[in-house]
Amino acid sequence: MLRRIGTTGLLVLAMTACGGGGAGAAPTGGKAAPPAQSTQARTSSPSQAQPDPVQRVLSKLSVEEKVGQLFMPVLYGTAADTVSGENQARYAAQTPAKVVAKYHLGGVILFPQNVRSTGQVVGLTNGLQRSAKKVPLLIGTDQENGLVSRMSALMTPFPGAAQIGATKQPDLSRAVAKATGEELRALGVNLDFAPVADVNVNPRNPVIGRRAFGDDPERVATMVAAAVKGFADAKVAATAKHFPGHGDTAVDSHTGLPVIKHTKAEWERIDAPPFKAAIAAGVDAVMSAHIVFPKLDSSGDPATLSKPILTGLLREKLGFDGVISTDALNMAGVRKKYNDGEIAVRAVLAGADLLLMPNDLPKAYQAVLAAVKSGRISTQRLDQSVTRLLKLKQARGTLTEAPVASAAEAARVLRSAEHRKLAAKVASAG
């Protein structure tokens, strides 16, 4: 039975800061392998074959429900049933639970303003899951550790990526990611927008900096791959960000539109290795960057809205078939040329599957729905994205049954002696 935990207080979700296959979980991303013919498939008739769970769930969703699966917006309230004027003003629904139900949401993202206590966060995530009637939610956050640590009020204060990278010990990167994932999972969070896969080659970079594992592409690649495996060990989805590489910019994409002037050869040498390593490690998701990369796409559109970059480069050249998430769609870097509805449609057409934090959810949702009904976004294209999202949920054990977090278990796991010891070890090694 689901257990409700009473909570009070205020939840204000803020703008995201740009934000696996390993031991313990089957990868959802990585390069697509040829389908293996099982013994059952060779010996059983079609009527005897078990239906694919993902396709079974997909077949029961309406078009409106499929479109809703693409969105992971900002909500307001410290509990699923908290009445908020902000929710009413933005979504014409008073509580987080009613917003989830109204838009058939596939996910929700949490921020520091969510956090009052361990029991409160557990109650919030359990309540949000109860509000998703057909398909459990992806509940995400940006817990990179270091500078960007949304749940830092409750979780072990692990060193950030730069300090981990300085240790030159991939096993520490994996161990920290595993411990971080364990603490997130105990709180009811099943998706982390980490690790950062950018190579910080510009010392004037105002948005990446020490969030990256360093300025050496191969070292960053090694650390990113280890982190992806660590999150998989904890059965939490990992997200490599920000594709095709946000490391060489002096402009913050929250407030402007950076332009990366690398040639294709420089991209291959500097920016690509960590993303290739993440894909090889079975990363669940890759987050796009709101950056213009003229040598990869001459249109002037940011990578988030670029089919040559998301589909041509990430999908086709690098062979990634996991979930592509946009960076937050309320950031200035993606809102220069198009309105909030058109941004969402173009992101899907470019190849994105998860639409993170649209500035205007009703407008974005209706625009994508209208584009599907008009044929601008084909039913096949919509189903591709929903299928990837459902496969991610299946790989993390949340396709048909929502996880139920336990406040007692979270209290045991968060800031455990073992995790504090690991944090101290990394700090002394780096």
Which residues are the active-site residues? 254, 327
In this structure, what token pair is assigned to residue 172? Answer: 């520490």
Q: Which helix (H) or strand (E) holds 59?
A: helix 53-59
Tokens of 210: 């020490």
The amino acid sitting at 256 is G
Whole-number Cα distances in Å, 104 to 28, 80, 378, 380:
23, 15, 20, 19
Residue type, 261: K
Beta carbons of 210 and 222 less than 8 angstroms apart: no
Question: 164: which 2 tokens?
Answer: 């981990």
In whole angstroms, what is the distance from residue 52 CA to residue 351 CA?
Answer: 24
CA distance 249 to 2: 47
What Cα–Cα distance (Å) separates residue 209 from each residue in 40, 124, 127? Answer: 51, 32, 36
Residue 375 token pair: 């044929």
Residue ranges of E strands in 290-410: 323-325, 355-356
